[in-house]
Structure 1
């Protein structure tokens, strides 16, 4: 009888679901479920930075206050603005910008900075994004003390209708519209999360991204109406700056800042800022979730 071969072929490996939408959404759900962990780590980051300091995290407030005061006084003189309305404008803009800057710059480094934890702990990678964003929220709350102080000083100038110089728009002044700053900042946090998630994943693969972003973000600061207003564009061009104002509108940072700054200062609300930010939120999260779906499992190898 002729012998027959009994060698069995190796079984095919089970199909991996590492690149499935369910795993991507599960990563975010599990990270949110462990909020006590990333909230504690974010607070510890703040405490560790100012360990053995006499006044601790208050240095954050002092640094922001001195910077806003210096820039407000300088640019109010350069642009011929009333300090009572322009200093709050610069202060609030700078506080919001500092939050955006932290999410973008630290977001590119979020997984690289947590290399040790990622390689040792089997945890959702979204935890590190939430930890970083929560840390930026805590910094924002510290800086908000400066806004409260400035508001107390210049409340009489901001509590009734007023104009920013070089602007034809009358602002209604502080009122119940200030409450819109709460959902506006929540939207800012949601956007900061997708920015950190998307840029963080890309930066682990391409290490040139963090220095490129750090260099480019400085240019964006000067192109964004923070220490100047869109009305100044019309002044320097003798009233013919309409196309320059349109260029400023193309800067997405302007819309992110304005949805929070306008209610905090009692400015006239322009709803197109909300539309732009809402559209960017949808597009940004679509890109971030796609990156999370396709490359979540590779982050631990790339860092």
Structure 2
């Protein structure tokens, strides 16, 4: 795809809503295969001077005889074009992998790698910024495949107990790997650890100027949905900076409607003085 076609495609697709939009930053939907599975999302721009850099995907898609729930949060930095590209293309790239239905974890790893390579190749059009990602694929309402790079996070609730499904890729945790690649990790007073004094995550898509020291390898996990599963929460770090996994689960345990639950979590984050962009998706299993 030519660079100008990439930008045209991104402009044709809004960065916010997929499914049944209620407002430009909020929406909901439900599974056709199981009436007990619903989803909702809510996004809020932070107090920074730059434009909103978060994007999301939240939809159910029929693929042959199967139904896939596709959910993702993309948190861009140094511009939002990479996040927009991911929103429009990453799931398509995953599903194009020939063995997705046989070995979805390997297919996702390859798709992440190929997508990152393409983003770097198209940096003249997409810019040199980057994006974190957390993606969740719900297969026929029975199994979750979770992948992530960066610090956007997925959390599942079973019997009221929160369990983190993704991995926060913090520079301090991957300092040895970064230094092996010739990079370094800084930690100045009052700030968070950063790769080469710049980026506060150790893995991301894009970021051409840092890529020699930065990984785009996702952590991938598989989780079975059973009768104890109540909800899955995906959110950008604007939420997780001010709320623990268990606090998030407890906060929505009595809210049945998924879109209302997602909005409640963003509102609670704002009340706790989060200043970052906040994106949240809630999938409810009732």
TM-score between both structures, scaled by the size of structure 1: 0.26
- Larger Cα-atom Rg: 1
Bigger fraction of residues in strand: 2
TM-score between both structures, scaled by the size of structure 2: 0.27
Bigger fraction of residues in helix: 1
Bigger RCO (CA 8 Å, 6+ sep): 1
